[in-house]
Chain A
Amino acid sequence: MNTLNTGQENGNWLGHARETARGIRGRTLEFTIRNNGGYLSQACSSAEIFAALYTKVMKLGPSEAPMIPPPFPGVPGPGNRGYFTGAAYNGPKAPHLDRFYLSCVQYALVLYAALVELGRMAPEGLDMFNKDGGTVEMIGAEHSPGHEITSGSLGQGLSQAAGIALGRRLKGETGRQWVFMSDGEFQSGQTWETVQVLSHYKLDNVGVYVDVNGQQCDGRMTDVMNIEPLQMRLEAFGARVYRVDGHDIEALAAPAVLEPDGRPLFVLAYTDTSRGMEILTERKPKLHYIRFSDEAEREQYRTFLKQNFPGK
């Protein structure tokens, strides 16, 4: 069980983080083979980011949610008092504790795999992925494990986290808001509206990790709609930006320990969509959703799984 991570006291966090990243890849690959499809390249690019966030960056308490995710409680509304969010998988809400917001919920499978690796959700939870009547949805919503908001319409996650950040600051709470975003979201106007507001109101209790994998649904981002130079664009909006190797866990974690200086923090994690699964390389750049063309290809991936992720 992953308990409060304040950093220094856990000397072996780096080893734990690397194991977590490896576990995320293995679980996602195993699931994709079984399901004959999945958001696999997202796991390749973001495994270290999730591992760094959950083992080092975020101050979270232990999960308060059931290990086996409960069934869908119905949509929120005045007639549904039994509604819950999946935030309890990230621990209790407390003034000094951080919160996590997955903005690009197409990464939900990766988050679920991370929760399993970290002992916050039972492995059976992953088996419930995309099953009718469940909460472990393919594109996560606020009732899904590890989710607190509904952000499947891309660009809305950061705005909601910014509103929460202001609310918590007004209440004198010290916990920070950590947001995981995809680089594609920086094509959306709402994202820039939010960066503008974060800077204007000096909401430095917001930290954003961006998986800059350069890929989106239609293909390479440089072909679909270029967003570079992202660092300069964000800095011009008043953000504090660090550009790091997105597979270097220490580099990923380093900006989070800096004293906040009034600027919103952005960590641009440049990543590789086939990292740790070289077998994916030949499919580039069409990696948004992996579906096997025939049984032979699926068998190839099964062999790769056995060789590279024994025990999965």
Chain B
Amino acid sequence: MEILTKLHARNLVEWAKDKPGVVVLSADLTGSTEVDLFRDTYPDRFYSMGMAEQNMMSFAGGLAREGFFPFVHTFAVFIYRRALDQVSMSVAYPNLRVRMFGFLPGITTPGGATHQATDDIGVMRMLPNMTILETGDATEVESVLDAAHAVDGPVYVRMLRGEIPRLFDRSEPMRLGCARELSSGSDVTLLTSGICTEEAMRVTRVLGAKGVSICHMHISTLKPFNDPAVLDAAARSRYGVITLENHSTIGGLGSAAAEMMAGAGLGKKLVRLGLKDTYAHGASRPYLMREYGLDATALVGEMEALLGVRFGITEDDLSAVRLEAVHSEAKAEAL
């Protein structure tokens, strides 16, 4: 599996080359959100706003009213917790084309509860006019810019930084409102997003070999959540639907799936994996993924419970798959 670093830093500079209306706002986290290269390349289009997010969000609304595309870069928590009123009234209400890049989604940071955006999707999903995208790999970090740019309104992006695997082929960019079907099947429909998709891919490989038929869909558009293919897949599942997300089980992907399924009158069981109505704490990502049940092992356990079978899968089996998938399976499974 290809691992890329500082992807957004290079990609944004290239992407924005012929888009003079794109301006970047940063709240003292320029290197940490990988916009330092943008700052150095286009100093006239970069505005340091200081550690003052409330003004930054309203200010971005003002710039958008004048036809600019403000690309706000900071940690996700500081967008929706620190400046929610400003996002709601200065950006979302007037439906302005502000793009908010929220870094460190969920437990991807050891920074503890203050830095972990574990309830952002739930909060932002409540805002009318808001589009919510989440990146799950390198291809999505690259192509989320085009997906967001096509939206005539505000967009909140759960963004990845640092070392990012390429799970999906470069020729398959993120498409607004379209889930990626990574495997087809009819026993269980598995919906995953963000960093959880890589974990789930390991599980589908192992369980596939054991004869379990899984429809695995990767979700990158969390709002609007209306891809008919997702509802069809849920309706086809024999045993039910499992969601796995790097977020609270309240308000995020699991809730969106529940709303969709209930609204359609599907009498299917739904298992929601994620942070179970709890804050997290400062620790490494693998440690937290295990502690809060967001990893492959947790998913296997839920699959077993749903299917009523014990597969006797070990952690070694799962990590072996990941290594195997590095070069072959990820590409083979990508649409």
B49 adjacent to A197 (CB under 8 Å)? yes
Query: Is B317 among interface residues, defined by CB-CB distance under 8 A?
Result: no
Query: Is B18 among interface residues, defined by CB-CB distance under 8 A?
Result: no
Count chain B residues whose beta carbon lies closer than 8 angstroms to a beta carbon of A: 31
Q: Which residues of A contact B60 (CB under 8 A)?
A: 163
Interchain CB contact (< 8 A) of B129 among A77, A150, A159, A167: A77
Query: Is A11 among interface residues, defined by CB-CB distance under 8 A?
Result: no
CB nearest neighbor in A for B98:
A163
CB nearest neighbor in A for B65:
A164
29 residue pairs A–B, Cβ–Cβ below 8 Å? A77-B153, A149-B94, A150-B90, A153-B89, A155-B54, A156-B85, A156-B86, A159-B54, A159-B58, A159-B61, A160-B62, A160-B90, A162-B55, A162-B59, A163-B60, A163-B61, A163-B63, A166-B47, A167-B63, A167-B65, A167-B67, A168-B66, A170-B66, A190-B55, A190-B58, A193-B54, A196-B50, A196-B55, A197-B49
**Would you give the shortest CB distance from B74 to chain A, in whole angstroms?**
14
Interchain CB contact (< 8 A) of B62 among A78, A167, A193, A196: A167
Instruction: Give the complex CA separation of A152 and B89 in angstroms.
Output: 9
A160 adjacent to B129 (CB under 8 Å)? no
Chain A, residues 182-202, CB within 8 Å of chain B (1/0): the string is 000000011001101100110
Instruction: Determine the main DSSP class of A at the interface with B.
Output: helix
Nearest 6 CB-CB pairs, A to B?
A: A163-B62, A167-B66, A159-B58, A193-B55, A193-B52, A163-B59
Query: Is A211 among interface residues, defined by CB-CB distance under 8 A?
Result: no
Instruction: Give the complex CA separation of A177 and B94 in angstroms.
Output: 19
Q: Which residues of A contact B65 (CB under 8 A)?
A: 149, 160, 163-164, 167
Q: Which residues of B contact A156 (CB under 8 A)?
A: 58, 85-86, 89-90
Interchain CB contact (< 8 A) of A164 among B52, B54, B66, B152: B66
**Would you give the shortest CB distance from A185 to chain B, in whole angstroms?**
13
Per the 8 Å Cβ criterion, residues 140-162 of A in contact with B are 142, 149-153, 155-156, 159-162
Query: Is A165 among interface residues, defined by CB-CB distance under 8 A?
Result: yes
CB nearest neighbor in A for B128:
A77
Per the 8 Å Cβ criterion, residues 285-301 of A in contact with B are none
Query: Is A76 among interface residues, defined by CB-CB distance under 8 A?
Result: yes
B59 adjacent to A160 (CB under 8 Å)? yes
CB nearest neighbor in B for A177:
B62
Query: Is A68 among interface residues, defined by CB-CB distance under 8 A?
Result: no
Per the 8 Å Cβ criterion, residues 82-126 of B in contact with A are 85-86, 89-90, 93-95
Q: Which residues of B contact A166 (CB under 8 A)?
A: 47, 59, 62-63
CB nearest neighbor in B for A152:
B89
Query: Is A171 among interface residues, defined by CB-CB distance under 8 A?
Result: yes
A159 adjacent to B94 (CB under 8 Å)? no
Chain B, residues 38-75, CB within 8 Å of chain A (1/0): the string is 00000000010110101101111111111110100000
Instruction: Give the complex CA separation of A196 and B59 in angstroms.
Output: 12
* 11 more A-B residue pairs beyond the given contacts A153-B85, A167-B62, with a C-beta to C-beta distance below 8 A: A76-B93, A77-B129, A78-B153, A151-B89, A159-B59, A162-B62, A163-B59, A163-B66, A170-B23, A194-B55, A196-B55
Instruction: Give the complex CA separation of A48 and B70 in angstroms.
Output: 37
